[in-house]
Chain A
Amino acid sequence: MTTQQIEKRQSADVARADQEKPQYFQPSTDVRETDDQIIIQFDMPGVSSDNVNLTVEKGTLTVTGKADPEETGQVVYRETHVGDYQRTFSLSDDVDTEGIMADMKAGILTVRIPKAEKAKPKRIAITSA
């Protein structure tokens, strides 16, 4: 089989897989904690801020993103496929889901989740006898 035939066959497979069920890619994600918030960053290249969707339901945070198609002409070399992104995280009770903020910039979605008051570090004053 020539490369072209293989490519054609693979794209037919992809098309078939697409018909069977929506295919999602998991974006690479960083989760880190600072003193007063949890920061989750998703790498979603090709997704504009209009095409990203963030929901929080029953303590579950779900991110979906629709990537713009990049295909032009014939494929010569391929390392990734372009598709929609989806990823889900469970949130603990120690966060304030009302105060979640998110921004999308240069293909990175940054979600900032403030910690609940009870989970923030507290300084205890020590009294001397």
Chain B
Amino acid sequence: MLLNTWYPFYDVSKTLGEMDRIFDAVNRPLGLRSVPRGTFPAINMYSDGDNTVMVAEIPGVDPETLDLSVMGDTVTLKGKRDDESLDTDRYYRRERVTGEFCRTLTLPDPVNPDSVQAQCKNGILRVSMGKAEAAKAKKIQIAS
């Protein structure tokens, strides 16, 4: 019965579906960095209720040597990744970034500097920052 139903826009919807599929393939994140190659460390930022969480990939960096500072709505991460190779070593491939790095990011909301907590595990630095009182959502009581 379905086959007998006349559906005039079948081709149109089919073409649109096809186009969606093509553009989907273009938009799909390939696991490539959206920042220039060599930007170190890579940083992701999440918003979790009243907290802003920054996650930075810093494999091999000693957390003790990191310099993390928060001011208003900016966060700065400074540090150094040591190069353990000797001058006599011969490189065949060198993709890992070494040396000093410094990145400053703007946060979606100002944060309270006293609420910042940071921990480092398996080369991932996780910084949790509580939003400043002024930036928190407030529930307004409506009088009837």
Nearest CB on B from A77, distance (A) = 4
A80 CA / B126 CA spacing, docked (Å): 14
A contact residues, total (Cβ < 8 Å)? 41
Nearest CB on B from A90, distance (A) = 12
Nearest CB on A from B36, distance (A) = 10
Residue in A35, A39, A43, A71 with the greatest tally of chain B CB atoms within 10 Å: A43
Nearest CB on B from A96, distance (A) = 18
Cross-interface CB contact of A13 among B27, B48, B88, B124, cutoff 8 Å: B27
Contact between B89 and A33 (Cβ–Cβ < 8 Å)? yes
Nearest CB on A from B6, distance (A) = 33
Q: How many A-B residue pairs have CB under 8 A?
A: 133
Nearest CB on A from B106, distance (A) = 9
Contact between B34 and A73 (Cβ–Cβ < 8 Å)? no
Contact between A75 and B95 (Cβ–Cβ < 8 Å)? no
A17 CA / B121 CA spacing, docked (Å): 28
Interface string of B125-138 (1 = CB under 8 A from A): 01000000000000
A73 CA / B108 CA spacing, docked (Å): 14
**Which residue in chain A gives the minimum CB-CB distance to B85?**
A32
**Could you pull out 17 A-B pairs where Cβ atoms are within 8 angstroms?**
A10-B28, A14-B29, A17-B28, A29-B95, A30-B85, A32-B90, A33-B89, A39-B89, A43-B59, A45-B122, A48-B122, A79-B33, A79-B39, A80-B44, A81-B31, A107-B59, A107-B124
